[in-house]
Amino acid sequence: MFRHRGNARTFRHNFRLAVFLSFVSGLVNICGVLALGVLTTNVTGHFAFFAEDVTKRNELYGVWFLLYIISFLTGAFVSSLLTEFRIYRQRRAPHNASIFLEILILSVIGLYGDHLLLTGFDKRLLACFLLFTMGLQNSLVSKISNFTLRTTHLTGLFTDLGIELSQLFFYRKVGERKKLTNSIYLRLGIVAFFFSGCVIGGYLFIAIKFRVLLVAAFIMVLAFIYDNMLLGLYKLRKNLRTNH
């Protein structure tokens, strides 16, 4: 899921990655909306709000929307930088640094977010941290899947889905049709789990507030453990075959 790259990746690897992390994104997204009043998984709308404040000569408030955009960009930059550095140093599992950083930030905000708001901490700054984590995740998923997947927002995904649904009328060869249907199932999986994360996260937020981010961090941990368990099983089977 996390370790396979390039041609080594299969539909199954991408699907597992997509459903785990799109669900996490849904949790983060609804938490940002309900707790902070900010969309924290994409920056498209923030460009419009920034432009609106500039045209209304409300530049000081508009700066926050610019900071949201920069936070997401910085997250993507840091994720790629960490990954490329680990690849350059020939480290195994080059994506682990980005995964651990996302888990850390989500855990800290999940534990202390409510307290920080009560003490007067600016909620817009908390939104910047969440946008940073989603930039991390989007870059991480993009690089792992060879730019096939996006799990933090759905705009481009719905565009691709519309294109691929139309191609079903024309692609008749077995190989082409299987590849196309796999891609459609993958995108539908992302939509379903992102939406599920938003709905379930909304109910959880009513009960536990910012601690919903601990659930998101826990799912990231489970995904990491699951991936390493599969690796362990693969190595065990390989050793058994070698010994026999």
> Could you state, in order of their start, the residue ranges of all structural domains in the chain?
17-233
In angstroms, what CA-CA distances link 195 with 19, 45, 69? 11, 18, 23
212-233 pLDDT per residue, tens: 999 999 999 998 888 777 666 6
- The model carries a pTM of 0.91
Q: What is d(CA 117, CA 50) in angstroms, rounded to the nearest whole number? A: 24
**What whole-number percentage of the chain has pLDDT above 70?**
91
Model confidence at 100: pLDDT above 70:
yes
Closest CA to 140 of 130, 150, 154, 131: 150
97: its two tokens: 């640094």
Side-chain half-sphere CA neighbours of 18 within 13 A: 28
pLDDT at 240: 65
DSSP at 171: -
